[in-house]
């Protein structure tokens, strides 16, 4: 979208989850359609934006990344967030086992109506899978979360994950 065009809504969405699960690459894929296999720990930029059209309205998604400070995510990070992608790595069991903690922290800090998508990233690494789709689906249902497996590398479901969260936010806040 050309600059100067009107934006009807700005929705803040945060990325959370353990270090190295692929948060920054998911964001790079969504915001710039880029991917890097040797991504350095994210530095500097706090968020990236992409404007899309939902229901004939222009919606600017402002997506926040943890900037490599997963252990020091502060309440400012969550402030005003209407959506969240809660990311684990399907090849790292521990990153899934930490999801309840991330969820607790998120629910403690964010908007009551926050829309949450559980994201199992690196679905291209099927041979190294350590978390079954069924386990994750079951957890997501129990906790009332949306759920998708993604691959930032192959660009699988990244668009859908954000689209789902943003459309849901739109339904609640428009």
Rule CB under 5 A: which residues touch Mg ion?
Answer: 24, 42
Helix residue ranges, H only, 2-152: 23-32, 75-78, 93-97, 99-109, 133-142
Q: Which does 125 bind (CB under 5 to 8 A by kind): ligand GDP, Mg ion, none?
A: ligand GDP
Contact letters for ligand GDP, residues 125-144 (x by CB under 6 A): x-------------------
How many angstroms separate the CA atoms of 128 and 38, rounded? Answer: 19
From residue 81, alpha-carbon distances to 8, 73, 159 in Å are 17, 13, 19
> 83 forms bridges with which residues in the sheet?
13, 115
- Beta-sheet pairing, 83-89 with 9-16: parallel
Q: Which of 20, 31, 52, 130 binds ligand GDP (CB under 6 A)?
A: 20
User: What DSSP string runs through 108-127?
Assistant: HHS-TT-EEEEEEE-TT-GG
Restricted to residues 64-123, the positions that interact with ligand GDP (CB under 6 A) are 121-122
37 binds ligand GDP (CB under 6 A): yes
Q: Which of 14, 24, 77, 102 binds ligand GDP (CB under 6 A)?
A: 24
22 binds ligand GDP (CB under 6 A): yes
Complex with ligand GDP: residue 36 or 132, whichever CB lies closer = 36
Q: Is 61 within 8 Å of 13 (Cβ atoms)? A: yes
Complex with ligand GDP: residue 2 or 37, whichever CB lies closer = 37
151 binds ligand GDP (CB under 6 A): yes
């Amino acid at each position: 979208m050309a600059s100067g065009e009107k934006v009807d809504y700005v929705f803040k969405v945060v990325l959370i989850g353990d270090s190295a699960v692929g948060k920054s690459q998911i964001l790079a894929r969504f915001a710039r359609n880029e991917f890097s296999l040797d991504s350095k720990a994210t530095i500097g930029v706090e968020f990236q934006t992409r404007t899309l059209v939902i229901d004939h309205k222009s919606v600017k998604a402002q997506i926040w990344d943890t900037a490599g400070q997963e252990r020091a995510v502060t309440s400012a990070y969550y402030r005003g967030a209407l959506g969240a992608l809660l990311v684990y790595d399907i090849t790292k069991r521990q990153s899934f086992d930490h999801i309840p903690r991330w969820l607790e922290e998120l629910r403690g800090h964010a908007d009551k109506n926050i829309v949450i998508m559980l994201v199992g990233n690196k679905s291209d690494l099927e041979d190294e899978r350590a978390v079954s789709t069924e386990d994750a689906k079951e957890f997501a249902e129990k906790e009332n979360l949306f759920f998708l497996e993604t691959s930032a590398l192959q660009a699988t479901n990244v668009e859908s994950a954000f689209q789902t969260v943003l459309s849901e936010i739109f339904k609640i806040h428009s």
